[in-house]
């Protein structure tokens, strides 16, 4: 069995989650349905926070110079912290996924709504572009996976895994430096090197979707419990949120040039 690059889709995570004979089992269609539900929850909470930051304005139609409720950003940041805690609980308490994963989706949506509003204030129209590109990339990756153009084998998975490990290390170093008032300039620069850096990260996030599709398909054949569909959908949501944030960062760099 292959190893996933997504930390919430490790084989060891599912090793003890097989369904007993006669019980309902995890399916691909069921996981897709759960993923659609989670995306709807994300959008509901994101739109609500967006409306608080930019009141009386249609979503994705913010006009520069208008302001909203400052407390909304506090709500978004708090939701982000709660979402992270709930995600950790989900990883260690997989049987709770049917409850914790929808909560995670709502919290993550609120967080993304606030962050997106910040970007929109500086770069009007950027959020619509990021959303369309994120879903466009997802469907392209799904088509590529189903066509078999790219074979998701052990070498491919190990390559993506190594790239994610390197990116995670860069993130951690940047966070540590941030405590000392410093950071990694490349992560924020709109120079060709900065844009190239963001393109690489977006590419890794996009190809991670291929691995996630593959692992969900493999795990659906293992006879896992029906409840694990929520967990599989959770893993896809984690990757999609990462991809969206990186596309948002890339577009902001391009807008500054």
For the stretch 183-240, pLDDT in tens is 777 777 788 888 998 999 999 999 999 988 988 888 888 878 888 899 989 999 999 9
For residue 199, being part of any structural domain is answered with yes
Span 15-32, pLDDT tens digits: 555 544 445 788 889 999
| Predicted confidence band of residue 107 (pLDDT cuts 50, 70, 90) | very high
* 192 CB-contact burial (10 Å; exposed 0-12 / middle 13-18 / buried 19+): exposed
For residue 1, being part of any structural domain is answered with no
Task: Determine the Cα–Cα distance for residues 257 and 255; give it in Å rounded to an integer.
Answer: 6
Domain, as residue range, for 11? 7-256
Q: What is the average per-residue pLDDT within 28-45?
A: 94
- In the predicted structure, residue 123 carries a pLDDT above the cut 60: yes
Span 61-86, pLDDT tens digits: 444 444 456 667 788 889 999 999 99
For residue 2, being part of any structural domain is answered with no
For residue 212, being part of any structural domain is answered with yes
Q: Are the CB atoms for 13 and 91 separated by under 8 Å?
A: yes
Look up the pTM and report it. 0.83
Mean confidence (pLDDT) of the chain: 83
Instruction: Give me the pLDDT at residue 2, please.
Output: 44
Our count of domains for the chain comes to 1
For residue 67, being part of any structural domain is answered with yes
Instruction: Give me the pLDDT at residue 21, please.
Output: 43
For residue 41, being part of any structural domain is answered with yes
CB within 8 A of 148, min separation 6: which ones?
A: none
């Amino acid at each position: 069995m292959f190893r996933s690059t997504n930390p919430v889709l490790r084989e060891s995570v599912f090793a003890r989650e097989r369904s007993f004979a006669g019980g309902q089992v995890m399916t691909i269609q069921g996981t897709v349905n759960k993923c659609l539900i989670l995306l709807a929850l994300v959008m509901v909470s994101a739109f609500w926070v967006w409306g608080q930051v930019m009141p009386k304005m249609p979503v994705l139609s913010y006009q520069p110079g208008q302001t909203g409720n400052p407390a909304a950003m506090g709500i978004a940041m708090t939701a982000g912290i709660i979402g992270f805690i709930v995600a950790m609980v989900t990883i260690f308490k997989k049987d709770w996924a049917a409850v914790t994963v929808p909560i995670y989706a709502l919290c993550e949506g609120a967080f993304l709504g606030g962050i997106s509003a910040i970007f929109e204030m500086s770069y009007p129209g950027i959020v619509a572009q990021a959303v369309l590109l994120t879903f466009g990339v997802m469907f392209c990756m799904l088509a590529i996976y189903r066509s078999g153009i790219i074979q998701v084998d052990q070498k491919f998975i190990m390559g993506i895994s190594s790239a994610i490990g390197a990116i995670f290390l860069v993130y951690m170093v940047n966070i540590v430096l941030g405590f000392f008032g410093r950071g990694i300039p490349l992560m924020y620069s709109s120079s060709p090197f900065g844009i190239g850096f963001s393109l690489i990260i977006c590419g890794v996030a996009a190809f991670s979707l291929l691995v996630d599709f593959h692992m969900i398909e493999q795990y659906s054949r293992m006879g896992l419990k029906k409840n694990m569909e929520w967990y599989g959908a959770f893993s896809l949501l984690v990757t999609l949120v990462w991809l969206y944030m990186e596309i948002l960062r890339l577009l902001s760099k391009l807008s500054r040039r």
